[in-house]
Amino acid sequence: MGFAGSSSLVAARCTGRAVTGERPLAGGLTEVSLDDGRTVVVKFADDPVAARAEAAGLRWLAGAGTVRIPEVHGVDGRGLVTERVVRGPASAGAAVRFGRDLAGLHAAGAPAFGAAPPGGPEEAYIGRAPIRNVGGDDWPRWYAAHRVLPYLRLAVDAGTVRAAEAADVERVCERLPDLAGPAERPARLHGDLWSGNVLWGADGHVRLIDPAAHGGHRETDLAMLRLFGCPYPERILAGYEETAPLADGWTDRVGVHQLFPLLVHAVLFGRGYAEQALAAARAALRHLG
């Protein structure tokens, strides 16, 4: 039996197999069954660049050989075809393993802060929001110039952050050398590590999906993981620190690393996230004394 839907056509072109069925999933994804017994997932991005960026990010993360990443079967225009993940319950043991694997992923490193994955575009995305992967060798300067300030300007232009309020975030950017903690080499980041992109597999291993992968500071992934909640956070952290202890005072820096995703959400979703970003900035400034 043949299927002519766009998801089936993309799956067939990327895998070279005939399609025997398809089923819609949440979030606009489609599960497609192939004639060799495999099942794949097809996702359509907003544009071909986003699909190519996501594929490059998944392959780069998989190349570290640590955290499990769904196999990329191919990209066809806006369509991305990946391995299906059989889901299971979250568990404390899987959380510890994930923490260890995440530490190994970060340790795999990157050529520079802001470095794009091999084959990935400079103009990429975090979710539906654009980001620029521009390299730098100084994390505080790079983070301010290429993550925080561009979204602060967009939020001000949209009226989501008032001009007078923006001064607090700008002061944090000026003081980032004092707030950033000890210097670290560029880590290989997932880049959008919220709980929705952490899939708990039926085999007891976590898979990561939908990255905004780039070279960055490892505390950024951990701060993002804390932002919207995740099962067994203390077990994840225990596994991480067992493998790669974090620098003293890292919990005081969480808000600094959350500034970027909060400003992204402020631009996309409104004032509530802007208030959280401003609260994080003011807490960082108070910490300086």
Show which residues are catalytic: 192
The set of residues, in sequence order, having a beta carbon less than 8 Å from that of 181 and lying 6+ positions away, is 219, 247, 248, 249, 250, 253
